[in-house]
Structures are given as C-alpha cells and as structure tokens.
Amino acid sequence: MSRSRTALTTTPRPRALAGFTAAALALSLSACGGAKVGDTAAGAQAGSEGKCGTVNLAVNAWVGYEANAAVVAYIAENKLGCKVVKKNLDEQVSWQGFSTGEVDAVLENWGHDDLAKKYITQQKVAQDAGPTGNVGIIGWYVPPFLAKQHPDITDSKNLNKYADLFKTSESGGKGQLLDGDPGFVTNDAALVKNLNLNYNVVYAGSEAALITSFRQAEQTKKPMIGYFYSPQWFLAEVPLVKVNLPKYTKGCDAAPAKVACDYPEYTLNKIVSTKFAQSGSPAYNLVKNFTWTNDDQNVVARYIAQDKMSDEAAAKKWVDANPEKVSAWLAAG
C-alpha cells in the first residue's frame, strides 16, 4: 500500500487533495483487488455473506494506517468470518464512499472538520466510531546530528540563519523544506510564507522517499529539514528532533492561507458509515472497539515496512502476541 502542494484544509497530515473534479474522483477511486468506489459488483454490502458479510475498508497511503487495516482485516476474516475488501483511497475520497455506501470504515482519521460537517452532520451518512487510541503529531524535524551540531536550529526563529545549509538543486536558491507525498495536506507552504522563511517546500513523493531522505541525511551527516509525524515506526530507528514552530492555539489554523502556528496534537479516530453502524455486523463492534497505542501501531508498521512482512503475516504475529487486546475488541457492545 502506499500519501499539497498547498494547504487545502486545516486538518493536515499525510492527507489527500481536496480539489478534485468529479471526473478525477471517479478515476482516483481505485482499490485493492481492482475494486472501485462506484463499482457495484465490487462494493458488496455488509450482510450479504452471512452474519458478517463484506466489510469495505478504506486504506490511506501511509504505513501506520496500513497497520491498522492489516490487524482489523485479519481479525475480521479469521475471527468473525468476514470478507474484507481493502480500497486504496486518498483521505478525502474515502469519505465520499460513505455517501455511496461503498466504504464502511476509515480507520485513522486526522481531523477533517470540513468532511465531518458534510458527511456526519449534514448528510448523516457517517458516524464517529471513537478514538483509535493513537495520538497524532505533525511537525518539522531535523536529523539528530544536526540538532546536536546546532542546538538553536530547533527554534523556527533561527531557521533563516541556516537556510543556506538546506539549499538543493530543487529549492530555487532557498533552503529546502522536504515534504512527503503531494497528496498529504500540510500547512507548510503557508507557514514558510507567513513566518517569512527563506525556504521552498519540495516534495519527496511518498512516505518511503521521505524516510529514505532522513535516514541518508543522518548517515551521511547531510543537513536536512522536513515534514514528519508520529506515530511512525521510523522514529525508533532515527530519533528525529522536532523544530519548535510558534505555539499552536485553538483557531490559529482556521484560515489555511494565514497559518503561522504549529500543528495541533490530534486525537485520531475512526469514522464509519451509518449503514455499517446499523447493519448488525459484528465487524462494526470490532471497528468501534479497536483501540491501541502508538507503540502497538509502530510494531506492526515496522513488520510491514522494514521487515517486509505481508500485511497478513504482520497482523497475525501481533494478534498472536496480544490475545487480551483482541478479546476486548471482539466483545459485544
């Protein structure tokens, strides 16, 4: 599985672009196994195959989310007898599936107040299914060696002093701030402008490319500054050091073009379709009860990303080692 060029929402993270046309949406709704939102043959509804039926899980493009989906899918299939269809979708596209009935659950939501208003409050086709137990943090980070060499670099007020260290062939004569996938929504371009920083945002292209860049920067002692986030298994390998942007206060990111503050902490949660919540499927209780820690997620994500295990094998290894947590998720109610 695999995650804006500008800030398109006030709820960032590895996130999906909002400005799709209807045609682009139709083309982008591709899924695992060839399934598509809009493909009624692939979008079987819960209840169609016995007590559990088919469960359609959106899978967004970062490995932490993939870890969530791997474990939930493994339990649903092996403990509840469900058929799970995983659909590789951008975040905002995933929410559209609630209104068509072809996405049952999003397992790691990073805010998206605009989408919650549309699909939960106004259309009432989706519901909050409670927290995942994960706490999400987004920010700008530097490799450990660089923070040790220049301790004051972790204060954003000093970044212009070091801009020349970060120049690259792609940064247009300014310092490079490396972001991940162009589909991740960030406030970074606005932050650079509004904090009057002599930097340009450049995109690595994917989560994997961003990780590779940070790893190589630490190994070769090459200066680098970039967007990163937690939970993320890579932080156990290279303990990146967070740069202190101006402190987040409630509402400071309300106008995306004017953002000049740090990202907030996110209490990550799950979103399900109203139809799925009312279906009587035991998979709904599993999703609702599913909670784990950042460390739990990072273990499974590391199995997948670093140890190159299949999703199923990674999930089985974790499930076998954590029977009490799994039993709690399977409890009724």
pLDDT in tens, 296-323: 999 999 999 999 999 999 999 999 999 9
51 alpha carbon, distance to own chain's centre: 31
Locate 188 and state its tokens: 């970074």
- Rounded mean pLDDT, 253-278: 95
Class of domain 137-258: alpha beta
User: Is residue 49 very low, low, confident or very high in pLDDT (cuts 50, 70, 90)?
Assistant: very low
Residue 9: pLDDT above 60? no
Residue recorded with tokens 């009935």: 101
Whole-number pLDDT of residue 72: 98
Residue 152: pLDDT above 60? yes
Residue 16: pLDDT above 60? no
Specify the amino acid at residue 70.
A
d(CA 297, CA 299): 5
**In the predicted model, what is the mean pLDDT of the chain?**
86
Sign of CA dihedral 129, 127, 112, 250: negative
- Rounded mean pLDDT, 282-287: 96
Task: Determine how many CB atoms are found less than 10 A away from the CB of residue 18.
Answer: 16
Q: Model confidence over 66-125: pLDDT tens digits?
A: 999 999 999 999 999 999 999 999 888 999 999 998 999 999 998 888 899 999 999 999
Whole-number pLDDT of residue 136: 93
CB 302 within 8 A of CB 231: no
Whole-number pLDDT of residue 17: 35
Residue 167: pLDDT above 70? yes
DSSP type of residue 262: P
The answer as to CATH 3.40.50.450 being correct for domain 22-136+267-330 is: no
DSSP type of residue 185: B
Q: How far is CA 19 from CA 8, 9, 89, 93, 265, in A?
A: 8, 10, 15, 11, 25
For the chain, the maximum distance between any two Cα atoms, rounded to a whole number of angstroms, is 64
Locate 51 and state its tokens: 């007590």
Specify the amino acid at residue 91.
E
CB 106 within 8 A of CB 69: no
Radius of gyration of the chain (CA): 20
Q: Where in the chain is the domain with CATH 3.40.190.10?
A: 22-136+267-330
pTM (two decimals): 0.78
d(CA 110, CA 267): 8
d(CA 207, CA 138): 13
Burial annotation 60-93 (CB, 10 A radius, 16+ → b, else e):
bbbbbbbbbbbbbbbbbbebbebbbbbbbbbbbb
Residue 176: pLDDT above 90? yes
Sort 40 into a burial class: Cβ within 10 Å, 0-12 / 13-18 / 19+. Answer: exposed
Q: Model confidence over 94-105: pLDDT tens digits?
A: 999 999 989 999
Whole-number pLDDT of residue 112: 86
Overall residue count recorded for the chain in this entry: 333
Considering only residues 178 and 110, tell me which one the structure prediction assigns the higher pLDDT: 178
Sort 250 into a burial class: Cβ within 10 Å, 0-12 / 13-18 / 19+. Answer: exposed
Q: Give 115-169 as a DSSP string.
A: HHIIIIIIS--EEEEEEEEEEEEEEEEE-HHHHHH-GGGGBGGGGGGGGGGGB-T
Q: How many CA atoms lie within 13 A of 258 on its CB side?
A: 5
Residue 25: pLDDT above 60? no
Residue 333: pLDDT above 80? no
Q: Where in the chain is the domain with CATH 3.40.190.100?
A: 137-258
Whole-number pLDDT of residue 90: 87
Residue 3: pLDDT above 50? no
d(CA 144, CA 150): 10
Residue 54: which H helix or E strand, with range? strand 54-59
CB 238 within 8 A of CB 144: yes
Residue 43: pLDDT above 70? no
